[in-house]
Amino acid sequence: MLRALRARGGPAGRRAIDLGCGTGRDTLPMLAAGWHVLAIDAEPAAIAGLEAAVPAAWRPRLVTRLACFERAHLPPADLVNASFSLITVERLPVLADLVRRIHAALTPGGRFAGQLLGSRDGWVAAGRPVVGLDPAGLLALLRDFRLERVEEEEADTVTPRGRAKHWHLWHVVARKISSSSRS
């Protein structure tokens, strides 16, 4: 996210949407850098935590929305960030529609930054309803973007509940190159 944030300088081009903002791990640095942020999360505790953490001086540049991002209206933005939030989308058509709406919301040259789940993720192997993408699937999903950064990460971790978890993630920064060609 920070890479995408730095890449978009100047007084114009400072409207961001943070999808699945949580308590503001990314929203707060965006506000600190002078951006206007629409922060969306489906969890009341996340929105409440973010609102409690925002310094008063930044508050006029923050709009929070308690909503599912699959259905939320996405206004024009120069950056759409989704850190570790799209990985829980359950079906490919829903994820593809969301990516299409992100593309539509982005201004020309605007960026999407976030993580998508890889096909070897432990949740995929366990049969959880998630979308695991192989390289071809990732490219197809983001075909209307120019990919500026794609980093693949695989790691074995232990969850806070003590369960083993294999992560397979794509870290992505992608730039809108044109209006969507999709219907």
Ligand X SMILES: C[S@@+](CC[C@H](N)C(=O)[O-])C[C@H]1O[C@@H](n2cnc3c(N)ncnc32)[C@H](O)[C@@H]1O
Among 22, 110, 122, 132, binds ligand X (CB under 6 A): 22
Quick check: 42 binds ligand X (CB under 6 A)? yes
Count Cβ atoms below 10 Å from residue 70 Cβ, excluding itself: 16
CB of 120 to ligand X, least distance (A): 19
By beta-carbon proximity to ligand X, the closer residue of 41 and 144 is 41
Q: In what order do the strands lie in the sheet with 145-158?
A: 62-66, 36-41, 15-19, 77-82, 106-117, 164-176, 145-158
- The encoded tokens of residue 122 equal 């432990």
CB of 68 to ligand X, least distance (A): 4
- The encoded tokens of residue 12 equal 């114009």
Q: What is the dihedral of CA 8, 110, 38, 22, to 10 degrees?
A: -80
Q: Could you give the string, one character per residue 44-73, with x where binding to ligand X holds by CB under 6 A and - elsewhere?
A: --x---------------------xxx---
Residues at the contact surface with ligand X, assessed by CB under 6 A: 20-22, 25-26, 40-43, 46, 68-70, 83-85, 88
